[in-house]
Amino acid sequence: MPKRIHPKPISIADIFIKFSTEAQCLEYVEKMRWPDGVVRCSTCGDKNVKRVMRQSESKNKRPWFYLCLNKDCHQQFSPTAGTLFADSHLPLITWFHAIGLILNAKKGISAAQLQRDLGIGGYKTAWYLTHRIRESMKEANPVPLGGIVEIDETYIGGKVSGMGMKFAKKQKRVVAGAVQRGGKLRLRHIPDAKIETLSGFVKATLAPDVERVMTDQLRAYPAALGPEFVDRHEKVNHIIGEYVRGDVTTNSIESAFSLLKRGVIGQFHKLSGKHLHRYLAEFEYRFNNRSESDVFINTVRRLCNVSPLRFAELTSGPKA
Ligand SMILES: [Zn+2]
């Protein structure tokens, strides 16, 4: 029987070698957008298009664009139009290398670090880049968790100088987490840890046929799990120093939280609650794809398939 070779995830060095020119990156984006190799007009869908090389290749320009030859259309379009790479003056190389660095940083990487590593002009540009990559990592339709699932909640950030402790606590962000043993992680920024809120998280997270659900002693859980899941609920009581009883423990979700916090506290000093959901999506994505050899390719594909996120959408609205 042939020995099964486990494909190794692509390394940063491989990414830097494989994608060392704009043309290589743009070819790759085209492969993702048009897997059958036939480039189609982004306006009318016609296959009768012509690649036009740009005359003077400035640093910020894509090396080529397309011209639709349909006489009723005649539009020019870029292979990145309609993707998250659009509206960006950054070279695609910077995007590709940023994706590699983010995927490889177990605790996440700050925009300031990425700016230094990749020689990006401004902090704001680097920040916007990281958030668009995070946006692509969001699971649109997450699969419910089954088997044995650990659920817990944690608090992130929140120290407000000059305010009393009572108020400072209110500024903390609540993150609900669930992990299927040997499976996927789910992290959500929730407004509070009240029964109704936790109940909403539980219902959106657990598969109806989940075997067992493990939590700590928090009083809200039995009610939050409700009649549907409460018969499969097992608790460890941290208050009396109990962390493991047989296989009943919440250690897996707690270690995911601790990794998240080391990243959030260490890398993202001024974390706004408004953007927390995107940081959580990044952590979740990295965790859930940790042994996926095609994670780099899949991430580029996601960026090609998510519609452009405007800077205004990222920065407007309340700082909730
Ligand atoms: Zn056209």
In this predicted structure, what is the pLDDT of residue 7?
58
176 and 243 assigned to the same domain? yes
Shared domain for 271 and 158, answered yes or no, is yes
Spatial contact of 233 and 171, defined as CB atoms under 8 Å apart: no
**Co-location of 80 and 164 in the same domain:** no
Distance (Å) from CA 31 to ligand 1 centroid? 19
Q: Judge whether residue 283 has pLDDT over 90.
A: yes
Residue 297 domain-assigned?
no
Do 187 and 263 fall into the same domain? Answer: yes
Task: State the pLDDT at residue 159.
Answer: 55
239 has a pLDDT exceeding 90: no
pLDDT at residue number 320: 44
Residue 2 lies in a domain: no
Residues 241 and 132 in one domain: no
Contact 209, 188 (CB under 8 A): no
Is residue 3 pLDDT above 70, yes or no?
Answer: no
How far is the centre of ligand 1, averaged over its atoms, from the C-alpha of 61 (Å)?
22
> Which helix (H) or strand (E) is 49 found in, with range?
strand 49-53
Residue 204 CA, ligand 1 centroid: distance in Å:
42
Q: 92 C-alpha vs ligand 1 centroid, how far in Å?
A: 24
With a cut of 50, say whether residue 195 has pLDDT above it: yes
Q: How far is the CA of 66 from the centre of ligand 1 (A)?
A: 10
118 and 80 assigned to the same domain: yes
| Distance of CA 299 from the midpoint of ligand 1 (Å) | 28
Based on the fold, state whether residues 173 and 254 are members of the same structural domain: yes
Q: Indicate whether 106 and 156 sit together in one domain.
A: no
Which of 166-175, 187-196, 261-270 has maximum average pLDDT? 187-196
Distance 312 CA to ligand 1 centre (A): 29
46 & 153 share domain: no
Instruction: Output the pLDDT for position 232.
Output: 96
Point out the least confidently predicted range of 52-61, 168-177, 187-196: 52-61
**CB of 145 closer than 8 Å to CB of 287:** no
Number of domains the chain contains = 2
- Yes or no: say if 175 and 264 are a contact pair by the CB < 8 Å rule: no
- Band (pLDDT 50/70/90 cuts) for residue 72 is very high
| Ligand 1 geometric centre to CA of 306 (Å) | 21
| Range 273-300 average pLDDT | 89
Is residue 200 a part of any domain in this protein? yes
In the reported structure, the alpha carbon of residue 113 is separated from the centroid of ligand 1 by a whole-number distance in angstroms of 41
Q: Flag whether 190 is in a domain.
A: yes
| Tokens linked to 121 | 């002009």
How many angstroms separate the alpha carbon of residue 40 from the centre of ligand 1?
Answer: 8
Virtual torsion, Cα 136, 141, 142, 145, nearest 10 deg: 180
CATH code for position 169: 3.30.420
In sequence order, the 6+-apart residues with CB closer than 8 A to the CB of 147 are: 180, 181, 182, 183, 210, 211
What is the domain extent for residue 175? 148-276+283-288
In-domain check, residue 142:
no
Supply the pLDDT for residue 144.
96
48 CA from centroid of ligand 1 (Å): 8
**Structural domain includes residue 302:** no
pTM: 0.85
In this prediction, residues 61-78 reach a mean pLDDT of 92
Q: What is the pLDDT of residue 54?
A: 85
Asked if the structure places residue 6 within a domain, the reply is no
On whether residue 229 sits in a domain, the answer given is yes
**CA-based nearest residue to 136, from 247, 298, 254, 287:** 298
Query: Same domain, yes or no, for 105 and 154?
Result: no
105 and 163 inside one domain: no
Tokens for 112, please give them.
């300031």
